[in-house]
Amino acid sequence: MLLNVLFVSCLVSLVAAIPQPAPEVFTVTRKVKVLTDVAPFIVTSTTVFTFTPSSAPAVSRLETMMIYTDGACASNGLASPRGGFAFVFNITPGGKELHVHTSNRAELRAVVAALAFRAWSGEGWRRVVVVTDSEYVGKGATTWMRTWSRNGWRTSADRPVANRDLWEALSVCLGDLAGQGCEVSFWMVPRHWNTLADAAAKAATEMENDKYFTTIYGAMI
């Protein structure tokens, strides 16, 4: 079965999507530059922002697109799980899936889909901030993935890395965007700051399954 997907393009202010009151000061409490030479054919870098009530990715002169991502899995861990993912962004100023649905897989699939959904660099964006309430995604993309790739996709316990196919797909996305001059950052936030993507992901779990996964693009690329 495949993860169902629901895309939401917000036509309202991005700030309006964040529960009020919004942060008074947008500052970064910690930035960690990692992911150099994630794989032999990829050279890129990624930044992780650690959430505090008064922090958010620092505003700079870069043209920045912020994307909220989330994944959900109804009956997670039970006999018949149903996974869904969604991503939400503000545009104003085929392979067959055979993996068992899990929450972690849905969260990760949302990020891969969001980064591939549009030609972000071609539209003039020089940085994409992926907003996620998943520590698995945030730390995995900015810290663990680099170590895994160097260890032949084995964990510190010498076990195969779970969801390797999606981590490798994410590596390709990051490498492609870096090669196009577009930086990708990850901002980990509490779930109540990610309500739009969370609701859309849950709605996606109720959609009818497709037999094959088809990548859907939001713009010509």
Q: What is the pLDDT of residues 80-137, one digit of tens each?
A: 888 888 887 765 553 344 567 788 999 999 999 999 988 899 899 999 999 999 999 9
Domains defined for the chain, CATH in brackets: 4-204 (3.30.420.10)
User: pTM for the full model?
Assistant: 0.59
Q: What is the pLDDT of residues 133-192, one digit of tens each?
A: 999 999 999 999 999 999 999 999 999 999 999 999 999 999 999 999 999 999 999 988
Burial class (CB in 10 A: 0-12, 13-18, 19+), 60: exposed
Distances from the Cα of 77 to the Cαs of 45, 64, 82, 150, in angstroms?
34, 37, 10, 30
Short-list 153, 138, 66, 143, CA closest to 107:
138
Residue 177 burial (CB count, 10 A): 23
